[in-house]
Amino acid sequence: MNFVQYKDIKPLTEAPTEDKVLIDVREPNEVIQGSIPSSYNLPLSKFEHALDLDDAEFKNLYGFNNPASGNDHKRDSIFFCLSGKRAAIACDLATKRGIKNIHNYQGSYADWLANEQAREQKALD
């Protein structure tokens, strides 16, 4: 597992790419309150079951390709939650499932909010 930071994530929100996917492992009731732009929600509570779904059903439910699919091993999967703890669990589960190119957004959504607020404040100054 590798760690990524805000500076690595911000460009993906402005110009999403097919070779990197941001995966929010928080529960839907948390995501409603806000998330990182261009991310997809795959709650940790459904994570292991979801990886067992066939590719079409997974994409229909979650909006992106199943990272456990044999066709998707070149894509970077970047996991985040609120603080990084659940993202670390998701990274561990993904590793055990043989998923490659796994990253944990260090600080996760809390870090995202802090950096975005700092950028907004700097723009006002």
Q: 4: helix, coil or strand?
A: strand
DSSP strand E in 39-123: where?
A: 40-41, 76-80, 102-105
Catalytic residue among 81, 87, 91, 94: 81
How many angstroms separate the first and last alpha carbons of the chain? 38
3-state secondary structure of 121: helix
Query: Which strands sit side by side in the sheet containing 102-105, from one edge to the other?
Result: 2-4, 102-105, 76-80, 20-24, 40-41
Tell me if residue 81 is catalytic: yes
Reading the block at residue 87, the tokens are: 């993202």
**Hey, which residues are catalytic here?**
81
